[in-house]
Chains A and B, each alone.
Chain A
């Protein structure tokens, strides 16, 4: 479980996060949603310590992450898998080397075991056999999927995904959502997914935090989000004409 308590973060005069509190539960898919530029990525980066928070606490299973020394943080981070919004693959390494990189750094697996695990992860994102390509030879969606494979390679305890299915076609998108949901339940992971994809929201949102104006404006789940009368959430969910039609049908 990751708890966020009264976190604020500014860049210069620009207050991006304003007193955000949230609870991300273990064994559930926790979503952070919200419009572009509202501070979702910044929140995720604060959670993993890539940005230092100005105020507030971040608790990993009760331990205050902000107060930890860099060594202890590093320990915790070996249990974190993260998918960056821009994939952030190592461009000097092949797909296989990218996925097996955390294994080679932190596990005691033999070469053969590492290859097995790498192939397994690549299979799960539908990229079996693409081992020898370089990131620059892969499409944007493929890079995203490789990054997901790398994030899950170490069987993380905490999984962060920043827009896992932006840039993917609807079918692959559904596949990735299903994968995230499946491993979360199977390995009892604390999963945090940032998304604006309404389909994912409805499909996998066990626990949804809606970030608006730097605040945790609303929280609920995939059932309550379609029925809430919160105006900002409604504007977000029913932005498209298609969704508006669905709402009138449902009503």
Chain B
């Protein structure tokens, strides 16, 4: 029951968030600030994760290539497909749900309990639109960039690991990377990413905005934000895959 009430409250929140910003100049500046905190500051962790995941995928595929019928370029093909279809958009989004989600929820939650949100409201500012909309826009713009970056690095990671452990050659790997390439896969992956970015930021903002009590409660709502946005990502991933790929 509580869950359903929360979903209703969440939808109502979105309704207020998407009202026209008071001043476009301020909205634009806030959006660029958020691109910095949500997007650019996430580049290092995304890079690190992607290189290692791509590397491990390539190694695992290589070590399972006992069947002589399979051509050598299968390693590149599988590394590319799994990175583009699932690892970059979904796994990296789940990691970002942890990083960005807790950041957003605790920032907004702290503003709530220290009455900063009340102060905004008293001035006549639409606090939801002022605080949340730039974050959502930043995520929707920058998540696809982050994930494209992650795909590239995942594939590079795969290549590096193969070269270092001498399991394949650059030429064979490249053939695999290019083999049966569908632009549709990228479109599918980036569509997922945009949805995930939206879910992470809006759900975390929701938990922060409606936080009550003290610092302990802000911690609690930021944990809930991470858990709920991760679950939302998994469900959305399933539904989107059904809708787009099948």
Binding site for B on A (CB under 8 A): 45, 48, 50, 74-78, 80, 82, 84, 86, 88-91, 101-102, 104-106, 154
Contacts and interface: CB of A to CB of B under 8 A. Distances in A.
Given A91-B114, A105-B125, 12 more contacts: A50-B118, A50-B122, A77-B124, A88-B114, A88-B115, A88-B119, A90-B119, A101-B123, A102-B123, A104-B23, A105-B23, A105-B123
B116 interface: yes
Contacts of B26: 104-105
B114 A86 contact: yes
Q: Is the interface of B mostly helix, strand, loop or mixed?
A: helix
Given A104-B26, A105-B23, A105-B26, A75 B124 contact: yes
Nearest to A73: B124
Contacts of A86: 114-115
A105 B111 CA distance: 18
Contacts, number: 53
Nearest to A154: B123
List the 8 shortest-distance A-B pairs measured between CB atoms, nearest first. A77-B124, A78-B124, A88-B115, A88-B119, A74-B124, A82-B122, A102-B123, A84-B115
A77 B126 CA distance: 11
B22, B26, B114, B124 — which one has the most chain A CB atoms within 10 A of its CB? B124
A91 B124 CA distance: 19
22 contacts: A45-B118, A48-B122, A77-B124, A80-B123, A82-B119, A84-B118, A84-B119, A86-B115, A88-B115, A88-B119, A89-B116, A90-B116, A90-B119, A91-B110, A101-B123, A104-B23, A104-B26, A105-B26, A105-B123, A105-B124, A106-B22, A106-B124
Nearest to B115: A88
A75, A82, A154 — which one has the most chain B CB atoms within 10 A of its CB? A82
Interface string B195-207: 0000000000000
Contacts of A105: 22-23, 26, 123-125
Given A105-B22, A105-B26, A77 B116 contact: no
B134 to A, nearest CB: 13
A101 B130 CA distance: 12
Contact of B118 (A74, A88, A101, A106): A88
A74 B125 CA distance: 7
B209 to A, nearest CB: 14
